[in-house]
Amino acid sequence: MPVEFKLPDLGEGIHEGEIVEVLVQVGDRVEDGQPVLIVETDKATAEVPAPVTGTVREIRVKPGQTVHVGDVLMVFLKEGESETAAPAPAPAAGPPPKEEVRPAAPAPAKPPAPEAAAPSDGPVPAAPSTRRIARELGVDLRQVPPSGPGGRVTTEDVRAFADRAKKPAAAPEAPPEAEAKPAAPPKTPPLPKLDQAGLVEHVPLRSVRRATAKHLALSWSQIPHVSHMDVADVTELEEFRQKYKKQVEEAGGSLTFTIFMLKAAVSALKRFPRFNSSLDMEAEEILLKHYYNVAVAVDTDRGLIVPVIRDVDRKSILDLSIELKQIAEKAKQNKISLDDLAGGTFTITNIGPLGGTSFNPIINYPQVAILGMARARLQPVVKGDLRNHRTVTRLMLPLNITFDHRVLDGADAARFLTTIVESLENPGNLMLVM
């Protein structure tokens, strides 16, 4: 029978993508696992493999088309199968057997649908991002009923299973007159007819720009943003950076201020763990994460990409210098994978190389804080007190911590940023956490 191939789950929170390229034609023979499509989804490009060995019977998508998880992309014929199944062979000719009369057996009772899949001893088919979500939610993948092709457990399966497990018993329905209707969200007013004033070019909102628009709109609508700012004297840190810059470059890395910020931020996150959390409003819980995966915003010609550096607390300055350079190059070359973007607990964005004195970044939902860095500049700084002071020239780095006011307060932000400033201003202390 023909096999309908639907867009599978491609990673956590991924619901749609754009077809970049169709790699096969109708009539082509394909192997199970052979890439047949390239899909750009949520800032990453992924190859979609064939689910069977056989022949391409039908292609239902084309480049530039937006598809959703569950949409039929292609139809395949399995190897050895024809368009129509062969009819069952007729019974051999001969005298009909005597009919044997037996009492009718009662129909077996239909078993109730199981709430969860029966555990098995083998590994459960699931993407790495799905396994990570399962670990975070405390879900045993063997108990989750799969909905993906070939018995694959998807991220949506895991979240639905977790929601069912923690959902309280349904309360009795209130009488109709007692039901309160929730207020409908305000509708976005239509745009005026802009082309009446002049020529207007229509550019489709696609791929990275569309994903960014949706993600940031979600963050801004859900999180009450508050920012706290400070400056760090990084004069001595810059001297240290210049001293070891060439050595790091020869090892394949790039020693930037962002590298030192990764270590300083993790040191502060350990001291103030709520900055490394997420808020579950439905369960009314703050989820404190005891791992430190820091996302770093990278400017590309396709838009802002935010890859994740995992286990920052376990890596040296040299390790981070090499890894950040490599993953930033992957992002700029459109070779980033979905796993490279998943699992971040805190975000750093450095606008400094492009200029500016300060800015207020938007939190990377579902995180609760983001640290912004502006351009370090030589500035006159007064040292001493009112009676005995002097003016010196120092390299000053503007910093901004934007946080979720539902989880954190201004005093928390001040202490957190002060801890980071102290680490950057005292490279000797920062070396202790490297």
CA gap 8, 42 in Å, rounded = 14
CA gap 402, 417 in Å, rounded = 10
Question: What residues contact 359, with CB distance under 8 A and at least 6 apart?
Answer: 351, 372, 374, 400
- Let me know: does 324 contact 312? Beta carbons within 8 Å: no
How far CA 55 is from CA of 21, 72, 167, 430, in Å, comes to 18, 16, 45, 59
Residue 137 structure tokens: 């939610």
Question: What residues contact 119, with CB distance under 8 A and at least 6 apart?
Answer: 140, 142, 143
Active site residue 290: no
Question: 68, 215, 290, 405: which is the annotated catalytic residue?
Answer: 405
Question: What residues contact 190, with CB distance under 8 A and at least 6 apart?
Answer: none
H-type alpha helices, 109-206:
128-137, 155-166
Closest CA to 41 of 16, 7, 64: 16
Question: What residues contact 122, with CB distance under 8 A and at least 6 apart?
Answer: none
Q: Which residues are catalytic?
A: 405
